[in-house]
Amino acid sequence: MTGPAALHVADVAHRFGRQEALRGVSLEVPAGRFTALLGPNGAGKTTLFSIVTRLYEQQAGRVAVFGRDLQAAPTRALADMGVVFQARTLDPDLTARQNLAYHAALHGLAGRAVRSRIDELLAAAGLSEKRDEKVRSLSGGQARRVEIARALVHGPRLLLLDEPTVGLDLAARAGILETVRGLVRDHGLSVLWATHIFEEIADDDLVHVLHRGRIVATGEAGTVGGEVGLAAAFRRLTEVAA
Amino acid sequence: MSEVPTSRLGLGGYLVCLSGITRRELLRFVGQRERFLSALVRPLLWLFIFAAGFRSVLGVSIQAPYETYILYEVYVVPGLAVMIQLFYGMQSSLSMVYDRELGSMRVLLTSPFPRWSLLLAKLLASVLVSVAQAYVFLAIALAWDVEAEPIGYLLALPAFVLTGLMLGAIGLFLSSFIRQLENFASVMNFVIFPMFFASSALYPLWRLREASETLYWVCRLNPFSHGVELVRFALYGAFEPVALAVVFGTTVVFFTAACLAYDPGRGVMARRGGPKGDAA
């Protein structure tokens, strides 16, 4: 018997004034799976993330996290998710450790066990030596790894990452992608990875293609791509949708 | 790996959240010592230079809560202490704008605790710092021979807390409208200076009334005047109920307005498209 989806989005629509940003978006992130949200810039990925994280109020539709309705039970739903935003959100004047401790406190967590957890997460991110340095002095890739470590402090079951590799070099991109895939493989974490980079998606990943605020295709990347491959299929899908 | 902690969402968890927000506020404050010094320099310039210069020109006749004639610098000390809180309250709003520009506001707003409780925690953290600054100023004033009633220093604590909450709530509300740090100059010109000068901080209002009835009423209606009077009375062991009511009421109104402004569905954030205004 399977449990509820890690993330269930049904008929979500959103407007900014007269501009329609999302038009009846429905998608699922199955528990324990790496799921990609593929879409070009401006497709509505960040808007969808902002709705799922309650930065924007839902105007229409339903969002549930592990079966809990986001509007009816936002506290528990937010506690179940870790988020890495597209824009950098670390406090540059605090150290890596202090940033993680601050995040832990925002989830009601403090104490020795939490400090150990923070040190372990920073060690796993390869940042033990940088843990007491101000974030301002870290490279883009290191800061991104701190953000992923921070998103895991409170033990979420669902990890949302909005274009986490934007602006990073190839090596850093590959490292971050492998880290996140490892979390799915080894710890059963459920992941929604928003991106516009085809190379980051494997054939057996579940992919939702978002274009102009609509889901235009859903399925395993290998199936969506078919014989032509995901990149060509995406171009065709977005041309048709245009 | 050690056991993975999971979010604690009860009262104990909220207290941890409150202490985490306060700790961050203190870390940032300690990390910017010049902010602490500049916050003190301003009122000290008023006290050491401006007030000393006017000492011989302006004595203040007997008026509550004073029981005798007082020197001008005795009169201005409560107003200058609350001025520190005014500046800190507005600076705290600046830090909200800074957080929004940095993106770290999202981290705060995606905490599982209710948004009003997060804003309250932010407010309480800023009050803690501003009250500490006000007491440092009072200590320096004491060394300058401007002393209040001994018990007044204790009684002034709740007055400072309430005044800090009021000014912080006003700052919090304003922060939801300020899009960029550069706009803070407008806050200085349109909020801080008018609030400070159109108040009882620098001159008793009966004196102002002799010059202009309109200006007198503007000052009377200014909540900052009531914050100053609440602290002034407390420092001399007295209680001003009207000031307390105005300070309390203003705090409730502006804090409620700030909560609505930061509400994702109703407030300024919703109209603007999120905490950084970057809908895409």
Q: What is the ipTM of this complex?
A: 0.85
Q: How many Cα atoms occupy the beta-carbon half-sphere of A73 within 13 Å?
A: 11
Could you give the 3-state DSSP secondary structure of residue B246?
helix
Q: A159 forms bridges with which residues in the sheet?
A: A82, A191
Q: Is the pLDDT of residue A67 over 70?
A: yes
Residue entry with tokens 């070009």: A40
What is the rounded CA–CA span in Å between residue B242 and residue B156? 16
Q: What is the mean pLDDT of chain B?
A: 84
- Closest CB to A78: pick one of B17, B103, B110: B110
What is the rounded CA–CA span in Å between residue A125 and residue A138? 13
Q: Does A72 touch chain B (CB under 8 A)?
A: no
Chain A residues whose beta carbon lies within 8 Å of the beta carbon of residue B2: 113, 116-117, 120
Cβ atoms within 10 A of the Cβ of B278, count?
14
A208, A174 contact by CB (below 8 A): no
The pLDDT of residue B42 is 83
Maximum pairwise Cα distance, chain B: 74
Write out the two tokens for A210: 């978002």
pLDDT bucket at A170, cuts 50 / 70 / 90: confident
- pLDDT (average), residues A182-191: 94
Q: Spell out a b/e string for B129-152, using b for 16 or more CB atoms within 10 Å of the CB, else e.
A: bbbbbbbebbebbeeeebebeeeb
The pLDDT of residue B56 is 65
The pLDDT of residue A215 is 94
For chain A, give the percent of residues with pLDDT over 90: 69
The pLDDT of residue B279 is 42
Considering only CA atoms, which of B223, B196, B188, B24 is closest in space to residue B93? Answer: B188
Q: Does B62 touch chain A (CB under 8 A)?
A: no
DSSP B72-117: HHHHHHHHHHHHHHHHHHHHHHHHHHHHHHHTHHHHHHTSSS-HHH
- pLDDT (average), residues B67-94: 86
A151 vs A57, higher pLDDT: A151
The pLDDT of residue B266 is 56
Q: Does B274 touch chain A (CB under 8 A)?
A: yes
For the stretch B25-64, pLDDT in tens is: 888 877 777 777 777 888 888 888 887 777 666 666 667 7
Q: A218 forms bridges with which residues in the sheet?
A: A208
Q: Does A13 touch chain B (CB under 8 A)?
A: no
The CA distances from residue B20 to A104, B27, B105, B139, in Å, are 8, 10, 14, 29
Q: Nearest-CA distance from A128 to chain B in Å?
A: 15
A36 vs B43, higher pLDDT: A36
A65, A81 contact by CB (below 8 A): yes
Q: What are phi and psi of B64, to 5 degrees?
A: -60, 145
A193 vs B100, higher pLDDT: A193
For the stretch B139-164, pLDDT in tens is: 999 998 888 889 999 999 999 999 99
Q: What are phi and psi of B147, to 5 degrees?
A: -120, 150
Q: Is the pLDDT of residue B208 over 70?
A: yes
- pLDDT (average), residues B244-265: 90
Cβ–Cβ gap A79/B109 under 8 Å: no
Q: Nearest-CA distance from A36 to chain B in Å?
A: 18
Alpha-carbon Rg of chain B, whole angstroms? 20
For the stretch B88-139, pLDDT in tens is: 888 887 788 888 877 888 888 899 998 888 899 989 988 998 999 999 999 9
Q: Nearest-CA distance from B264 to chain A in Å?
A: 5
The pLDDT of residue A154 is 93
Q: Does A102 touch chain B (CB under 8 A)?
A: yes
The pLDDT of residue A84 is 95
The pLDDT of residue B277 is 44
pLDDT bucket at B280, cuts 50 / 70 / 90: very low
Residues 6+ apart with CB under 8 A from B273: A16, A56, B279
Cβ–Cβ gap A21/B279 under 8 Å: yes
Could you give the 3-state DSSP secondary structure of residue A35?
strand
pLDDT bucket at B272, cuts 50 / 70 / 90: low
Could you give the 3-state DSSP secondary structure of residue A103?
helix
For the stretch A79-118, pLDDT in tens is: 999 999 988 899 988 999 999 999 999 999 999 999 999 9
For chain B, give the percent of residues with pLDDT over 90: 41
Q: Is the pLDDT of residue B273 over 60?
A: no
Could you give the 3-state DSSP secondary structure of residue A11?
strand
Q: Does B117 touch chain A (CB under 8 A)?
A: no
Among B29, B33, B111, B113, the residue to mutate for chain A (most A Cβ within 10 A):
B111
Q: What pTM did the predictor assign?
A: 0.84
The CA distances from residue B136 to A224, B43, B49, B112, B140, in Å, are 67, 11, 18, 36, 6
B133, B84 contact by CB (below 8 A): yes
**Chain B residue at shortest CA distance from A45:** B280
Q: Is the pLDDT of residue B185 over 80?
A: no
Cβ–Cβ gap B5/A78 under 8 Å: no
